[in-house]
Amino acid sequence: MLKDQGFWPATVYMEGLDQYRGWFQSSLLTAVGALGKGAPFQECVTHGWTVDGEGKAMHKSLGNGVDPAEIFKKYGADLLRLWAGSADYHVDVRCSDNIFKQLSQNYLKFRNTARYCLGNLDGFDPDHLVSPEEMLELDRWAVTKLNELIRKCFAAYDNYEFHVVSHAINDFCVVELSSFYLDIIKDCLYCEGVDSLERRSAQTALWMILDTITKLFAPILAFTCDEIWQAMPHREGDDPRNVVLNEMNQPFQDYDMGALVSWTALIQLRDGVNAALEAARNEKKIGKSLEAHITLVRAQDQADNLTALQEKFQDQWADLFIVSDVEVSDDPALYAQGSDTPIAGVRVLVSEANGDKCERCWKHHPLVGANAAHPTLCPRCAKVVQAIHL
């Protein structure tokens, strides 16, 4: 029948391990012996058995089975799909309520990431993206990491490694986005001018990220990704009816920065700064990180470890560390007082930020109040608010 319909050979036969001596074997013998043709399939994908949380086979007599309908009622159909798409099916797959509870956290992280992106794309036109030449370097870093995710997921789908896709997208949402990028760009998205290059650059990266991860995850989280698709802005030529009617994005090569060695070192330095900020909070020196002034102190014999980062990132450090001000010092006395960072020969000191708090962006600035028309705002926020009222 398959041959008559033009589906010979089948692309994939997918069954449990027992079918090597069952369907795989019988169809192979029939195709070769009776029809004189080759194998009726191009590839075989086999999987283990579904077992309970303790690794025991599910039996009615043991009462350890899991009813899919109960999962639907409690967690929704997409969580069951996520369970199937997160498990390494080459071995036996465990299924229990505790496992679904753990997976629900991964699901919520993806959903909350999408909500963050959607909430900051209101009115954004994806047919007018910021060009690679104009895009800010932080945003190009995010797109470069997105390109890495695309390549990894494409390779995983090609190899039927669905759990690699699920874990890669979850890691991207948690590590690159939530723990780093999304936290940093809040100030830009909320406080810069609505049509400023800084804000449009961040929105361009957010749209690329949302459009891409929605398409990448759609084969697994079919309902959630289509819900996102219906809510997000689209380019001319996209099919708005359903996300799966659109092709997955290829890497955005024009935006790719290539090697990210300096950014890797910057993130390591930021980890050290965050540890020092947390210690300062515990000691009641500061409250929020924007109340902090950071001093980076370098050892004389290892000054080059910070100099390269200083040349590249100094103008961005306050935003990248989410503090009000950053300075660099070579004072040996301060170095002796500082906390170590992952960058050899670089230590960090935390003190109270200079100036008053801007009531709009919450950064501390010595020129808060310099604008008589907006006495509670910093110069940046005063300029933005003044433009709004023109």
pLDDT in tens, 196-236: 999 999 999 999 999 999 999 999 999 999 999 999 999 99
pLDDT at 357: 96
Q: What is the pLDDT averaged over residues 142-164?
A: 97
Q: Which of 7-16, 61-70, 331-340 has the highest mean pLDDT?
A: 331-340
Residue 349: phi, psi to the nearest 5?
A: -120, 140
Q: What is the pTM of this model?
A: 0.90
> Could you give the CA distance from residue 200 to residue 181 in angstroms, rounded to a whole number?
15
Compute the CA torsion angle 138, 139, 141, 142 (nearest 10 deg): 130
Span 261-354: which CATH code?
Answer: 3.30.2320.20
Range list for CATH 3.30.2320.20 in the chain: 261-354
Top-confidence residue, 62 or 224: 224
Closest Cα partner for 231 from 119, 109, 104, 75? 119
What is the identity of the amino acid at 163? H
How much of the chain, in percent, has pLDDT values that exceed 70? 98
What residues does CATH 1.10.730.20 cover in the chain? 97-255
Q: Which residues pair with 12 in a beta bridge?
A: 43
Token readout for 146 is 């997105």
pLDDT over 90 for what percent of the chain? Answer: 72
Confirm if 31 and 38 have CB atoms less than 8 A apart. Answer: yes
User: Has residue 3 got a pLDDT over 60?
Assistant: no
Summarised one tens digit per residue, pLDDT across range 176-188 is: 999 999 999 999 9
Q: Taking residues 362-377, report their average pLDDT.
A: 94
Topology of the domain covering 97-255: Isoleucyl-tRNA Synthetase; Domain 1 (1.10.730)
- Residue 265 has a pLDDT of 95
Helix or strand (DSSP H, E) at 51: strand 50-51
Cα 182 from Cα 116, distance rounded (Å): 8
pLDDT band at residue 24, thresholds of 50, 70 and 90? confident
